[in-house]
Structure 1
Amino acid sequence: MAGLKIVQQQQQDSTSALSDKQRAMLEDVAAAFAVSDEQLAKIVARLEAEMFRGLARNTNAELHMEPAVVRPQAAPASGVSLGMAIEATGRRIRIASVRFEAGCVASTTRQVFVAPTAEAHADLFGFAAFCLSEFIQAHGLEQELAPGQKLPLGVAVGQPVDDSQSRVCEAAKEDSVDLCGSDIAHRVRDAVLCSHLPVRVASVTNNAVSALVAAQFHDSTARVAAVFNHGANAAYLEDPVRVERLAGPAGADGADAVAINTEIGRFGAGSDALPLTMWDRRVDRESRCPLARPLEKLVADQYLGEIVRNLVTDFMDHRLLFAGTGDVRPINAAYSFHTGYVAPIIEDSSDELAAVDAVLAAEFGIRSSTADRQIIRALCRVVAERAARLSGAMLAALALKAAAAASHSGDVSVALSGALLDTNPFIRSTAIAAMERLLASRRTAPIGVIFQRRGDDLLGAALAAARL
């Protein structure tokens, strides 16, 4: 089992400091988190079935599978377009201007705005209009416009959007501003009009769809875009004929393909398809949205550190970690062990695990023993490897679905992005290896992997707006 191999490797890497009880509990945890290749193959098959169900009319499928009609490869000959991304928390708004010349991107300018007060956060669309005004003035964009001309604006949001109505169609996730039922295009348009800005709201898409638009613009083989940030989501290109809710190709306005926002983090909500442990159930139970988005809670940046923290506190309760260390209360606070700590801890190969010691001392004020550090590193690896292998299964299912839809049009690539993959090479490489192994077992043609630049969803949003 993969998890047990991790423990064995840890034991070989100078784990003589561990007692028999510490080693036994670590092995039990590793066994609980291990996911076999056979389990992953079953998850891939279930994901494929749920994606198929989600494309049909009037089904109660686990996945969202909302179509968005986009034309990823067509670029305007010239001009400037704006892309704006509204983060799921509502506190951050990112804006970019994209200048096109001869059908290519000539230049881009990006800026991030953070709501300075609770009042600005509460008035999200007023704050968005303020950000747009500041951005346009700071970069002199209005001076380039002809009389009566307006800048096309594409909005990307971190929640599922009904493409036909621009409405957010899911309740807020963890730490999210609740936009459920909001017509994003209408509310941004009203805010823009009230601020007298030279902007027209041309499109509203989910950020995974925007990432897919940008990926296809750079590489025509890209038919899947998976984003691993605070949450996890993916979009892929589908044959319109297979999407019943579009009522055939005519519903897609003659497009060769439609982008499907899968909301794949929902997978497992209506079944026992995922290998949940008692620690996963605890994190889910204590979350703001219990029983919602179970796959996301196993693979996304927001949750991995919290799973590790729950394992740590259980070792502490058994007096197998930080015994006699002093004040360890800081690590009892929920979500205090950030996922960002996992990568440097896993990568620490020094004899005394100096990086692990530094994290524990600086972030929690804990003086640790060598055994403590070995346990922390092993727990991080166990949680990270399971997340990576499940992510690989997710990518394999998406690649198979996209390849089936593109069987007549050549190669298929998967575009990957997100802070989790950028900052954690172990998760990134392990996920890709798991995907490739699962696809090889299905005798699928090789799937390419593309790494997107941070902020490409803004380019995608600007591209979508420039065509409308």
Structure 2
Amino acid sequence: MSSTAHANPEVISDLTKAFAFPISAYDGLVDQFISELSEGLVYEQKMPMIPTFVYELPTGEEKGVILSLDLGGTNLRVCRTTLSGGGKFEIIHKKWTISDALKKGAGSDLFAWIADRIGEFLASDCHDPTRGGGKKYPLGMTFSFPCEQLDINVGKLLTWTKGFHGKDVVGKDVVKVLQDCIDAKNLPITVNSLINDTVGTLLATTYKHPGCEVGIIFGTGTNCAYLEDQSQITKIRPDAANFTSPTGMQVINTEWGAFGNVSGALPNNDYDKYLDSHSSRPGQQLYEKVVSGLYISELARIVIHDLAKRGVLFAGQGASAKTDAELGTLAIKERFDGAMMGGIEADTSADFQAVGNHFQTSYNLTTSQGDRETIKYICQLISARAARLSSVGIAALIKKRELLSKPQKVTVGIDGSLFNKYPNFRQHLEGALNEIFDAATVSSKISLINAEDGSGVGGAIAAFLSCKALGYQA
């Protein structure tokens, strides 16, 4: 990319320095990440490192017909998964939009509605002649809201997020709340597991790729789940069910977005500080704020907005410095999303006209060639740093678990829009792993796999494993 077309080469140089992440910084940051992972298994601080009560991973030979549901911020999805062994499965599902009235209403009404939708799915999409004589479907629940989990099928809701308001179920076991609603409708279903989407990513990947021990999401947010030695998890409460793992292992939900909250280890330029201070949770989720899609697109907006206010961008439209009124919605928080940012990076035309079209259509701002090139460069700087910092978490897990010492290849299951769709994100991440380890090691020993339907298939596998632990067939 030619530097002569940039709106202001001096500003570009300053931005390059601000978002630089040199090779020399990797080792220290990986070591700090390992330290915070380890401390989180012992103390209730820093990284949450939440025990999931999932004590084993699938072999790929599991067989059965299982239901699962995925409750997200926008939709409810109910699935019927047929596990056929050999890593093969077939899934059918149905999806419903969750209305604002349900989000803002009583939690009991929401769960009753969920039970109705399960019944609807069962009647229309789930005929199974083998289910007779009182035999019930096991159902795995993927529930990505903060819970205090005391067993694979016991989780007390700590708080709602994503716009849900149902205070009447906060503090209650959401598995029991749903089961009571299901029983009230006489549906042949037993809810026997509760996981989040990251654990589901790990389980779904391992079913198709046995030996995988790490599942990660790089999307709107970020998180990681992995298999840990039970002996290392010393903070498990003695009153929790199944305090002793029957396998000597347990899957941990790291909630690694909290890395750096206490240590201050992460890169933190003035734009990062501004983003954090104006977020809904200042000082929290600092790793997520430098690697996830929600935050890196907001970071790009903050930089573009700043340069426009300083007269560096859009200066061809009258006065050199732009007011917020002139910048329109570009001046409003979170009005520059990951899809737009990715579209800008994907523009490979000579004059970056797609970049100009984005800004003309979305913000009524006319751009020069220099503006367009600078905007694209800003997006590239921020997304490349995000990918490199993402590699630090992967490397820390691999080193902590000493996975490279095992004879088999290290398989990491990854889901999320950043990894799957964002231009060059995966390439930057893999390039950073080459720098942390070496290219030959990464090529021969580390495999990054696109996860497939973690919330649906993963939820079904969690239910299967729960059936196995309880001694009955799915």
TM-score using structure 2 length = 0.86
Deviates more, 1:265-274 or 1:347-356: 347-356
Q: Within 1, Cα distance between the matches of 2:64 and 2:210?
A: 22
* Structure 1 residues 384 and 180: alpha-carbon distance in aligned structure 2, compared to 1, 3 A threshold: farther
CA displacement 1:104-129 (0-9 Å, x = unmatched): 64421123221133235544323322
Q: 1:112 aligns with which of 71, 89, 95?
A: 95
Deviates more, 1:139-148 or 1:280-289: 139-148
Q: Does 1:229 align with 2:219?
A: yes
Deviates more, 1:175-184 or 1:291-300: 175-184
* Structure 1 residues 182 and 383: alpha-carbon distance in aligned structure 2, compared to 1, 3 A threshold: farther
Q: Within 2, Cα distance between the matches of 1:305 and 1:430?
A: 17
Q: What is the match of residue 388 of structure 2?
A: 389
* Structure 1 residues 240 and 229: alpha-carbon distance in aligned structure 2, compared to 1, 3 A threshold: same
* Structure 1 residues 449 and 174: alpha-carbon distance in aligned structure 2, compared to 1, 3 A threshold: farther
Deviation for aligned residue 1:372 = 1.2
Q: 4+ runs of 1 displaced by more than 6 Å?
A: 176-180, 441-445
* Structure 1 residues 398 and 104: alpha-carbon distance in aligned structure 2, compared to 1, 3 A threshold: closer
Q: 1:439 aligns with which of 437, 455, 461?
A: 437
Deviates more, 1:173-182 or 1:453-462: 173-182
Amino acid at match of 2:449: F
* Structure 1 residues 26 and 169: alpha-carbon distance in aligned structure 2, compared to 1, 3 A threshold: farther
Q: What is the match of residue 7 of structure 1?
A: none
What is the SS of the residue equivalent to 2:114? helix
Deviation for aligned residue 1:75 = 6.2
After TM superposition, the structure 1 = structure 2 runs for residues 48-67 of structure 1, keeping only pairs within 5 Å, are 48-56=34-42, 58-67=43-52
Checking the alignment, whether the CA contact within 8 Å between 2:217 and 2:224 is kept in structure 1 is yes
Q: Within 1, Cα distance between the matches of 2:390 and 2:309?
A: 31
Q: 1:267 aligns with which of 239, 259, 265?
A: 259
Deviation for aligned residue 1:69 = 2.3
Q: Does 1:79 align with 2:64?
A: yes
What is the SS of the residue equivalent to 1:425? coil
Q: 2:421 aligns with which of 420, 423, 430?
A: 423
Deviation for aligned residue 1:72 = 1.8
* Structure 1 residues 408 and 367: alpha-carbon distance in aligned structure 2, compared to 1, 3 A threshold: closer
Q: Does 1:24 align with 2:5?
A: no
Question: Unaligned regions of 5+ residues in structure 1, if any?
Answer: 1-9
Deviates more, 1:448-457 or 1:294-303: 448-457
What is the SS of the residue equivalent to 1:164? strand
Q: What is the match of residue 323 of structure 1?
A: 315
Identity %: 24
Q: What is the match of residue 295 of structure 1?
A: 287
* Structure 1 residues 293 and 206: alpha-carbon distance in aligned structure 2, compared to 1, 3 A threshold: same
Amino acid at match of 1:313: H
* Structure 1 residues 421 and 408: alpha-carbon distance in aligned structure 2, compared to 1, 3 A threshold: closer
Q: What is the match of residue 323 of structure 2?
A: none
Deviation for aligned residue 1:18 = 3.4
Q: Within 2, Cα distance between the matches of 1:141 and 1:268?
A: 49
After TM superposition, the structure 1 = structure 2 runs for residues 66-145 of structure 1, keeping only pairs within 5 Å, are 66-74=51-59, 78-87=63-72, 89=73, 91-101=74-84, 105-119=88-102, 122=105, 123=107, 124-141=110-127, 145=131
Deviates more, 1:66-75 or 1:388-397: 66-75
CA displacement 1:264-319 (0-9 Å, x = unmatched): 00111112101112212222222222211110011111111110000011001111
* Structure 1 residues 432 and 33: alpha-carbon distance in aligned structure 2, compared to 1, 3 A threshold: same
Checking the alignment, whether the CA contact within 8 Å between 1:161 and 1:205 is kept in structure 2 is no
Q: Within 2, Cα distance between the matches of 1:76 and 1:448?
A: 24
* Structure 1 residues 442 and 143: alpha-carbon distance in aligned structure 2, compared to 1, 3 A threshold: closer
Deviation for aligned residue 1:170 = 5.8
Q: Within 2, Cα distance between the matches of 1:254 and 1:432?
A: 36
Deviation for aligned residue 1:443 = 7.7
Deviation for aligned residue 1:142 = 6.2
Q: Within 2, Cα distance between the matches of 1:156 and 1:174?
A: 15
* Structure 1 residues 98 and 274: alpha-carbon distance in aligned structure 2, compared to 1, 3 A threshold: same
CA displacement 1:325-355 (0-9 Å, x = unmatched): 3843121121010011122211222111022
Deviation for aligned residue 1:256 = 4.7
Q: Within 2, Cα distance between the matches of 1:77 and 1:416?
A: 22
Q: What is the match of residue 335 of structure 2?
A: 336
Q: What is the match of residue 313 of structure 1?
A: 305
What is the SS of the residue equivalent to 1:463? helix
Q: Does 1:280 align with 2:272?
A: yes
Checking the alignment, whether the CA contact within 8 Å between 1:155 and 1:204 is kept in structure 2 is yes
Q: What is the match of residue 157 of structure 1?
A: 143
What is the SS of the residue equivalent to 1:112? strand
Q: Within 1, Cα distance between the matches of 2:217 and 2:126?
A: 32
* Structure 1 residues 103 and 432: alpha-carbon distance in aligned structure 2, compared to 1, 3 A threshold: closer
Q: 1:44 aligns with which of 12, 30, 39?
A: 30
Q: Within 2, Cα distance between the matches of 1:382 and 1:242?
A: 38
* Structure 1 residues 175 and 446: alpha-carbon distance in aligned structure 2, compared to 1, 3 A threshold: farther
Deviates more, 1:322-331 or 1:424-433: 322-331
What is the SS of the residue equivalent to 2:365? coil
Deviation for aligned residue 1:182 = 4.2
Deviation for aligned residue 1:204 = 0.3
Checking the alignment, whether the CA contact within 8 Å between 2:104 and 2:163 is kept in structure 1 is no
Q: Within 1, Cα distance between the matches of 2:381 and 2:61?
A: 47
- CA RMSD, 1 decimal: 2.8
Q: Does 1:347 align with 2:346?
A: yes
Amino acid at match of 2:99: P
Deviation for aligned residue 1:415 = 1.1
TM-score using structure 1 length = 0.87
Deviation for aligned residue 1:180 = 6.3
CA displacement 1:344-388 (0-9 Å, x = unmatched): 211222111022122112222222111110111011011101111
* Structure 1 residues 77 and 337: alpha-carbon distance in aligned structure 2, compared to 1, 3 A threshold: closer
After TM superposition, the structure 1 = structure 2 runs for residues 173-188 of structure 1, keeping only pairs within 5 Å, are 181-188=171-178
Deviation for aligned residue 1:159 = 3.7
Q: Within 1, Cα distance between the matches of 2:4 and 2:389?
A: 31
Checking the alignment, whether the CA contact within 8 Å between 1:86 and 1:156 is kept in structure 2 is yes
Q: What is the match of residue 3 of structure 1?
A: none
Q: What is the match of residue 451 of structure 1?
A: 449
